[in-house]
Structures are given as C-alpha cells and as structure tokens.
Amino acid sequence: MRKYLVMVLVAAVAAGAYAQPAIQEGTREVLIDGSWDPDGPTGTVLDLTFGYGVFVRDAIEVGGQIGYSSTEDAGGVGVDSKTWWLGGFVDYHFDMGTMTVPYVGADISYGNRELGTWDESAFVYGPHVGVKHFITENVAVNIALQYLLATEDVFTNDGTLEDNDLSLEFGIRVMF
C-alpha cells in the first residue's frame, strides 16, 4: 500500500513540475478556506469560507467571499457562538516562475456574531500574506496569515472580547 501512495505522490509532483500557475488576466478562481485560531473562546476555532475571484490584470485578483463559523459551548455549556460574514478581497501575486506563488492582499467584510443572547455586527478589514503552491496549473493549496481589525469587539482571544484577531488560513484554490 505504501508503494502505491509513493507512486501517486511522485506522479502528482512530476505533473506539476511542467505546469505554469494560472495567474493571468481573465483567470477565475473558486476558493474554499478554513482557518485555525488557537486563541478562540474554548481553545481552537475552525471557520469555513467560500469565495470567487477574477484576475482583473496579470497577478491582480479581486473577489468576494462568504463565511460561517460555529463554536459549541463558547460561552459556557449550552451557549454557542455563531458568526457569518460577507465581503471582498484583493490580492497581488508575485510570479516567480515557479509552482509556489507568494501573495499579499487585503480583506473587507461585514459580519455578525451571536454568543448566547449577545449579538454584535461589525465591519472587519485587514491585510493578509500567503503562499499558493500549485499542484497542477489549475489547482493550488493555500496557506495565509491574516490580521483583522473590526469596528466593534467581535473577536474572542483568550476569553476576552477584542477588536482585532490574528489567524492562519488553509485552503484549496481551483482556477479556470
């Protein structure tokens, strides 16, 4: 079994070695991201984001995203946290002629967070920096570090409500 796994991995790497990343004007991207925040209200919080982007120029992508997060017992037993957001992003990709493409960007969104009877909405914005590693010319795995600021205290870090948050995102990107 291990032999077959090694053969599949070698074939995937070999296929990607001759491909060029799809980051040219007109390319569209569908994204699915998850984020990990170790300072969440009950330890680790997981989020899920879906998005769509278009490269409006070579290396410059503009898009939208929608996300949802739910943490059970975030405010104590039986008090759950639910968050949703809708927003946009812009990314600049550094084409280095390799299958690994670093990028920088910014996010802006509007969201709502409920925790028991507490309910707060805010505008959230901030920069991010990341790397997309293309497995093929149209499929990439993504990792990004994101710093967000909010107009209200909507982030929970180490049990305290704050207006800023630092998180690590992981995801898959498909270009067409």
What percent of the chain is modeled with pLDDT above 70? 86
Tokens standing for 73? 């017992």
Q: Using 50, 70 and 90 to split pLDDT, how confident is the model at 152? A: very high
DSSP character at residue 116: T
Q: Give the chain's mean pLDDT.
A: 86
pLDDT in tens, 120-129: 999 999 999 9
Mean predicted confidence (pLDDT) in 96-121: 94
Backbone angles phi, psi at 16, to 5 degrees: -75, -20
Residue type present at position 11: A
| pLDDT over 80 (residue 77) | no
- How far apart, in whole angstroms, are the C-alpha atoms of residue 115 and residue 151? 18
pLDDT at residue number 47: 85
pLDDT in tens, 2-48: 554 445 445 555 544 555 788 899 999 999 998 777 776 666 677 89
- How far apart, in whole angstroms, are the C-alpha atoms of residue 139 and residue 83? 29
Number of domains in the chain: 1
Which residue range(s) make up the domain with 114? 2-175
The CATH number that applies at residue 150 is 2.40.160.20
pLDDT at residue number 83: 92
